[in-house]
Amino acid sequence: MTVRVAVNGYGTIGKRVADAVALQPDMKLVGVAKTRPSYEASRAVAKGYPLYLAADGSKEAFEKVGLPVAGQVADLLREVDVVVDAAPDKVGRENARLYQAAGIRAIFQGGEKPDVAEVSFNALANYEAARGKHTVRVVSCNTTGLSRAAAVLTSRWSVENWEATIVRRAADPAETKRGPINGILPTFQLPSHHGLDVRTVFPKLPITTAAVVVPTTLMHVHVNHVRFATPPRNVAEMLAAFRSTPRFHLFGSWEGVDGTPQVMEFARDRGLGRNDFMENALWENGAQLDGKDAYFFQGIHQESIVIPETVDAIRAMFDLAPDGAHSIAITDRTLGIPPP
């Protein structure tokens, strides 16, 4: 079976989902929907993706600049089995009615509230929960990063307490209207919603989060302190658990990767699409175990980390793979993410 997929919204997430779906052997990208013409739309056309008008888009606006329009988003929805909603936060919920009316399945982003879908999803954590579902929410970048780490740790050891500070990038690289330019903005929600959101995937995880926004565009960084009830024997054992899991990358201390700028430079040297870094980035010298207390940093590439999860979500919904491990293997091979 080849699942026919639409992507509604063609910004940071939508364009990446489109590329990823186009690479899958068991899926077909039928088209993408966008509101306004732009350099991003022109690249979609250059890649041969049929372009549909999202929401209140104007056909004339596209055609005036030589970008052919294949139809309205409603036309697109009629041609597919599932739509990946990549609209701005809160718009996904409004779009849900369209998808239901079209009688198709839908994947929503983590910016929507959990009740937008039957299940909140992370491939390593709860692939089975999405099997056969009609609506799935792929959790946000930060929640995905934490859920992956939780999948590694909780499956091997018992976690008693988890404190995470989320140091958030303030804007994506091309969002030139967003600041701050110089300063730190605390997120005035304590604990922050991230911990609650992780519990949509790991209902009983004793995790508490807080967040600040800082003037960078590259990646988020999580500062983690995990207290185990039954800990790993040593930090090497903990690191080995991460290293042997898909979608984790550990940088050695000799590599000179001092922070997120070098992670991004490594990604450029490696050369996946858009130089994305879809793994959790960990540092060997940024991890410690002291008795029952473990500490580790992880870098989260906000633009791309949810992309492989979205592909897996489609596979789970349509029962295209025997289990999560098989789906992850296919996704990662096609996207170029190295296996553990």
Which residues inside 111-150 make contact with its own copies, applying CB under 8 A? none
- Residue 181, classified by CB atoms within 10 Å of its CB into exposed (0-12), middle (13-18) or buried (19+), is exposed
Size of the site for its own copies (CB under 8 A): 80
Facing residues of 6 across strands? 31, 83
Asked if 266 touches its own copies (CB under 8 A), the answer is yes
How many helices (H) and strands (E) the chain has is answered by 12, 15
Tell me if 81 sits within 8 A of 108, measured CB to CB: no
Q: Tell me which of 28, 78, 225, 326 binds its own copies, using CB under 8 A.
A: 225
Both tokens of 173, joined, read: 């690289």
In the set 141, 149, 317, 330, the catalytic residue is: 141
Q: Tell me which of 252, 319, 323, 340 binds its own copies, using CB under 8 A.
A: 252
CA angle 283/248/87 to nearest 5° reads 115
Q: Shortest approach of its own copies to residue 285 CB, angstroms?
A: 5
Q: Shortest approach of its own copies to residue 58 CB, angstroms?
A: 12
Q: Shortest approach of its own copies to residue 63 CB, angstroms?
A: 12
Could you identify the residue written with the tokens 């929805």? 77
Alpha-carbon distance of 23 to 263, in angstroms, equals 25
Q: Shortest approach of its own copies to residue 108 CB, angstroms?
A: 24
Alpha-carbon distance of 97 to 99, in angstroms, equals 5
Q: Tell me which of 253, 319, 329, 333 binds its own copies, using CB under 8 A.
A: 253
Q: Tell me which of 132, 186, 336, 340 binds its own copies, using CB under 8 A.
A: 186
Q: Would you call 193 helix, strand, or coil by DSSP?
A: helix
Largest CA-CA distance found in the chain, in angstroms, rounded? 66
Both tokens of 152, joined, read: 């590694």
Tell me if 296 sits within 8 A of 281, measured CB to CB: no
Asked if 204 touches its own copies (CB under 8 A), the answer is no
Could you identify the residue written with the tokens 């809160």? 90
Q: Shortest approach of its own copies to residue 315 CB, angstroms?
A: 25
Asked if 251 touches its own copies (CB under 8 A), the answer is yes
Q: Tell me which of 55, 72, 154, 208 binds its own copies, using CB under 8 A.
A: 208
* Nearer to its own copies (CB atom), residue 133 or residue 220: 220
Q: Tell me which of 154, 216, 292, 326 binds its own copies, using CB under 8 A.
A: 216
**3-32: which residues touch its own copies (CB under 8 A)?**
15
141 part of the active site: yes
**292-321: which residues touch its own copies (CB under 8 A)?**
293, 295-297, 299
**153-182: which residues touch its own copies (CB under 8 A)?**
163, 165, 167, 169-171, 173-182
Q: Shortest approach of its own copies to residue 83 CB, angstroms?
A: 22
Q: Tell me which of 26, 40, 79, 160 binds its own copies, using CB under 8 A.
A: 40
Alpha-carbon distance of 153 to 139, in angstroms, equals 19
Q: Which of 74, 119, 122, 71 is nearest to 95 (CA)?
A: 74
* Nearer to its own copies (CB atom), residue 132 or residue 173: 173
* Nearer to its own copies (CB atom), residue 65 or residue 229: 65
Q: Strand 135-138 vs strand 82-85: parallel, antiparallel, or unpaired? A: unpaired
Residue 276 CA neighbour count, 13 Å, CB half = 25
**60-79: which residues touch its own copies (CB under 8 A)?**
64-65
Asked if 48 touches its own copies (CB under 8 A), the answer is no
The catalytic residue positions are 141
